[in-house]
């Protein structure tokens, strides 16, 4: 899944934020807490990515099928956010960037959050399957299980969590494509590859920025602490390199032509340059630049692919 920009200043090693430091904050209405639990920005970007795949699959917009896909994907993404926070409430309480979330701050009880997440998952899956999008519904449910049951606990155990988490993160356009076509083919495979590879520089930049907080919470998010290259820098650059031909491979699929190919290649080179700068000198400035570029690459890819497909 896509992630929003994060800007909280890093804590020193070992620092944590206890829930009682944020309980005193003004209490928003209960519905606002549940919306926050759903991570609406991530859920909305997930829907946008799914709709891009839906468009490339020839899906007809302004239809009940499109509405069902959008609602279903949003609800399943919200379930991922809620159940992830339910599972990570203890580690979230130890990091400044997450301590004010509804669960670690004490503003919602875990006993209410778990059924909320399950209900959102069931409703979202049912919305897709009920409109004939069986493959998309099954893929959405599998994505949820992999994200919550594999990626989330693995963050405490292995740096391989990033690779595992990139699988559900790459599924939204595939789900959208499957909703339109009812099948998985080469186009779906290349869509998966683009979104899978995009995530590595993105999340390695975030991991570098918040390495102390993650370490203090017992989460294993980076392969190493090397200031120049090392495993972290090498992975960021390697995946950025692979992203360029993977995105270009979609030319000729889903109605995408040379305009898409040229613009996406240029965006890929830009992403690669930011990744190389990050690898060559890993510091807060290069990590933030890579994060900004990553957050621009994805909406640019969506915009270019949808516009080129349409015209």
pLDDT, tens digit, 9 for 90 and up, residues 152-199: 999 888 888 989 999 999 999 999 999 999 999 999 999 999 999 999
Model confidence over 109-133: pLDDT tens digits? 888 899 999 999 999 999 999 999 9
Residue 38 reports pLDDT greater than 60: yes
Mean pLDDT of the chain: 88
Nearest to 199 by CA among 135, 256, 246, 254: 246
Residue 94 reports pLDDT greater than 50: yes
* 4 against 96, higher pLDDT: 96
Residue 2 reports pLDDT greater than 60: no
Out of 18-27, 82-91, 289-298, the most confident range is 289-298
pTM > 0.75: yes
Model confidence over 234-249: pLDDT tens digits? 999 999 999 999 999 9
* 221 against 101, higher pLDDT: 101
Report pLDDT for 27: 59
Report pLDDT for 28: 62
Residue 1 reports pLDDT greater than 80: no
Specify the range with the lowest mean pLDDT, choosing from 156-160, 198-202, 278-282: 156-160
* 159 against 150, higher pLDDT: 150
């Amino acid at each position: 899944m896509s992630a929003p920009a994060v800007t909280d200043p890093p804590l020193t090693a070992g620092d944590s934020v206890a829930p009682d430091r944020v309980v005193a904050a003004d209490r928003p209405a209960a519905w606002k807490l549940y919306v926050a639990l759903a991570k609406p920005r991530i859920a909305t970007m997930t829907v946008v990515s799914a709709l891009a795949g839906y468009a490339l699959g020839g899906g007809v917009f302004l239809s009940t099928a499109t509405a069902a896909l959008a609602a279903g994907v949003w609800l399943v993404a919200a379930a991922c956010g809620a159940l992830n926070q339910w599972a990570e409430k203890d580690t979230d309480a130890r990091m400044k960037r997450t301590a004010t979330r509804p669960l670690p701050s004490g503003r919602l009880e875990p006993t209410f959050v778990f059924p909320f997440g399950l209900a959102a998952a069931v409703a979202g899956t049912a919305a897709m399957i009920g409109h004939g999008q069986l493959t998309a519904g099954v893929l959405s449910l599998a994505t949820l299980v992999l994200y919550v049951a594999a990626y989330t606990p693995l963050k405490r155990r292995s740096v391989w969590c990033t690779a595992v988490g990139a699988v559900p993160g790459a599924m939204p356009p595939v789900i959208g494509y499957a909703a339109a076509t009812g099948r998985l083919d080469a186009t779906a495979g290349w869509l998966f590859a683009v979104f899978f590879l995009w995530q590595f520089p993105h999340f390695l930049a975030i991991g570098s920025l918040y390495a102390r907080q993650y370490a203090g919470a017992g989460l294993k998010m980076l392969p190493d602490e090397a200031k120049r290259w090392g495993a972290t820098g090498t992975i960021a650059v390697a995946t950025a390199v692979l992203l360029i031909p993977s995105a270009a491979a979609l030319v000729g699929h889903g109605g995408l032509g040379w305009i898409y190919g040229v613009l996406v290649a240029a965006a890929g080179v830009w992403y690669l340059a930011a990744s190389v700068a990050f690898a060559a000198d890993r510091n807060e400035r290069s990590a933030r630049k890579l994060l900004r570029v990553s957050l621009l690459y994805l909406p640019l890819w969506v915009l270019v692919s949808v516009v080129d497909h349409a015209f």
